[in-house]
Amino acid sequence: MNIGIITGASSGMGKEFVKLTMQNHLELDEIWVIARRKERLEAWSDLYKEQKFRILPLDLQKKEDMDYLGKTLEEVQPHIELFIHCAGFGIMGRIQEISMEEQAEMVDVNCRSVVEVSSLVLPYMKYRGRMIYMASAAAFLPQPGFAVYAASKAFVLSYVRALRAESREKQLRVTAVCPGAVKTEFFNRALTKKHLPAYKKLVMADPKKVVKKAWQDNEKNKEVSVYGKVMKLTHLVTKLLPHSLFLQFIGRK
Ligand SMILES: NC(=O)c1ccc[n+]([C@@H]2O[C@H](COP(=O)([O-])OP(=O)(O)OC[C@H]3O[C@@H](n4cnc5c(N)ncnc54)[C@H](OP(=O)(O)O)[C@@H]3O)[C@@H](O)[C@H]2O)c1
């Protein structure tokens, strides 16, 4: 059975990836959609009656839910053509303003789930299969005021680049997506402790465009997908200049 798996499929960029997958007619026997909000996942079957969706209302923080995903893969023994990992969240605020539990949750969902879900799906990835991971431009530089989130996305970027190098034999196309701020529900939770900095409002991207670019970059087998001129420039300068220089200015009270 040929399948695609999309996590974070209940909202934002995950939703856009489901739509793009459908538009690209990949002839998948099933698309497995993962997130906690079951009713939102079930809506996919109503929207696209011609496609079979497997609804997996899983919390990627819960061991029993990861076990369930592992068992389901083992039973079905699918050939995974497309794997897209979008589940993630961030909370803005200085380290001491965010509870230890919330910080650990960010590490769990943004980092541990990447490691665990990847380990589960990799044995079933098809030759030349596609893997797309949502990292963030926050991965380019430490971010005072968003420290745990930025560190978690630096982890994702580093992990995905290594995974890509390890996957050469199977010729997997593996891409880390690193957008700046994107207009999604992400900010409902991100801004519970802080207002959005004005410069982020100016460069807020359309999720459709970010996802389309990510899809195209992955088709071209690019390692990193960065949407928009401002973020491309940010990527470049954070590679060229010492991070200590930026850290003198950002996140000051
Ligand atoms: N928006 C931005 O500015 C931005 C910028 C760069 C990178 N990103 C990254 O892009 C990815 C997608 O974010 P988005 O902007 O599309 O945000 P979003 O609209 O809030 O979507 C986040 C998705 O993650 C799922 N999720 C969160 N916690 C989960 C858990 N414990 N178990 C299972 N699923 C979980 C949510 O589903 P349920 O709530 O239904 O579980 C939702 O589908 C994230 O990794 C985010 O860090 C976002």
pLDDT at 253 over 80: no
| Identity of the amino acid at 108 | D
Give the pLDDT of residue 14: 98
Give the pLDDT of residue 251: 67
Ligand 1 atom index nearest CA of 37: 40
pLDDT at 252 over 70: no
Residue list, ligand 1 pocket, CB within 6 Å:
8, 10-14, 35-37, 59-61, 86-90, 109, 134, 136, 179, 181-182, 184-186
Ligand 1 atom index nearest CA of 89: 47
Give the pLDDT of residue 85: 98
**pLDDT digits 0-9 by tens, 51-99:** 999 999 999 999 999 999 999 999 999 999 999 999 999 999 999 999 9
Residue 60 in contact with residue 7, Cβ under 8 Å? Answer: yes
More confident residue, 160 or 251: 160
**What are 146's two structure tokens?**
């968003």
Closest CA to 121 of 74, 153, 157: 74
**pLDDT digits 0-9 by tens, 107-148:** 999 999 999 999 999 999 999 999 999 999 999 999 999 999
| Angle at 216 (CA atoms; ends 53, 19), nearest 5 degrees | 25
Residue 175 in contact with residue 83, Cβ under 8 Å? Answer: no
The CATH superfamily of 2-247 is NAD(P)-binding Rossmann-like Domain (3.40.50.720)
pLDDT classification of 202: cutoffs 50, 70, 90: confident
Name the strands in the sheet holding 79-85, side by side, starting at the edge strand that comes first in the sequence.
53-57, 30-35, 2-7, 79-85, 125-134, 173-177, 224-225
Closest CA to 31 of 18, 20, 42: 18
Nearest protein CA to atom 41 of ligand 1, as residue:
36
